[in-house]
Chains A and B, each alone.
Chain A
Amino acid sequence: MSTLVLEVIKGRRSVRSFKPDPIPEEHLKLILEAGLWAPSGGNAQPWEFVLVREKQVIDKIRLFSPGLFGDPYALIVLCVNKNRIKRRDESGKQIALMDVAMAAQNMMLEAYYLGVGSCPIASFNKTAIKELLDMPDHVDPVLMVSLGYPEKWPEPPKRRPFEEVVHYEKY
């Protein structure tokens, strides 16, 4: 089983060119469910996920998202629900961002497992997206994941060598 997980982790690519084919609803649901099962600090689960499938809405989001490449079938906008981290200080707010990032990674791995390409996007105007998607004050969009069947799976980018990155017992 561990080999399979590592294969999925190593196989996932950031896809920026998509086919127009629709993703089945049940697969989209599985991808979202993978996000729900991410770890979070104090089990706060400070996230909200907005699934956008309507092309017209995606086109409007694109106007404010320079980091959105290609024509994805769907977008998931991952948000922090500030009501769920009310008692946290500044570092606690950073933890909420890490929580959302882990949820995004879960989603992208599940997507890859289902043959769906994805790409995490942080380059978008948060104020504009919040307005466009009618988000209340206490909900802030922080990350998007584009989803669609890839035109092609990109080659893996270079990775820093294991020995350079990993330190045993001390730095």
Chain B
Amino acid sequence: MRRWCITRSTEELIKDEHFKLLAFLITSARGCVEEPHLYGSLRLVDAASKLIDIMRSEGKTSEELEKLQKHIEEGKHLLMHSEEDFIKFLDELVKELVKIVKKS
């Protein structure tokens, strides 16, 4: 049976990394209505990086995931320089992810 912890204070909640990701996703969903369409891709890879942060804090990350996050952090701002390079970067991330899946 699922258990809920309902005694957390708001103060605790807003420091919680899951909650931060949740707020990021909801706010991004609203923002994407008006923002340039590639900003949606940027928000998703940024969320992926935040998710890896959470996985690390829970001891669920791996060397490959650490590498993937490094790649995301190094490349996510390419969108501000060149859309073409940003799309190439997204392709590279997918290939990196496939490598991780194939290895398992």
Contact = CB atoms under 8 A, between A and B. Distances in A.
Given A123-B39, A158-B82, A16 B28 contact: no
Nearest to A14: B80
Interface string A108-127: 00000000000000011100
Q: What is the interface of chain A mostly: helix, strand, loop, or mixed?
A: loop
Contacts of B24: 63, 66
Contact of A60 (B14, B35, B77, B82): B14
Contacts of B20: 62-63
A128 interface: yes
Given A60-B14, A66-B43, A157 B81 contact: yes
A59 interface: yes
A63 B16 CA distance: 11
Contacts of A153: none
B55 interface: no
Interface residues of B, number: 16
A63 B30 CA distance: 13
B25 to A, nearest CB: 9
Contacts of A81: none
A59 B46 contact: no
Interface in A41-64: 59-60, 62-64
Interface string A89-106: 000000000000000000
Given A63-B20, A63-B23, A123 B31 contact: yes
B80 A157 contact: yes
A40 interface: no
Given A123-B35, A123-B39, A158-B82, A65 B77 contact: no
29 contacts: A14-B80, A60-B14, A62-B20, A63-B20, A63-B23, A63-B24, A63-B27, A64-B23, A64-B27, A66-B24, A66-B27, A66-B28, A66-B31, A66-B43, A66-B46, A67-B31, A69-B77, A123-B31, A123-B35, A123-B39, A124-B31, A125-B27, A125-B30, A125-B31, A128-B27, A157-B80, A157-B82, A158-B81, A158-B82
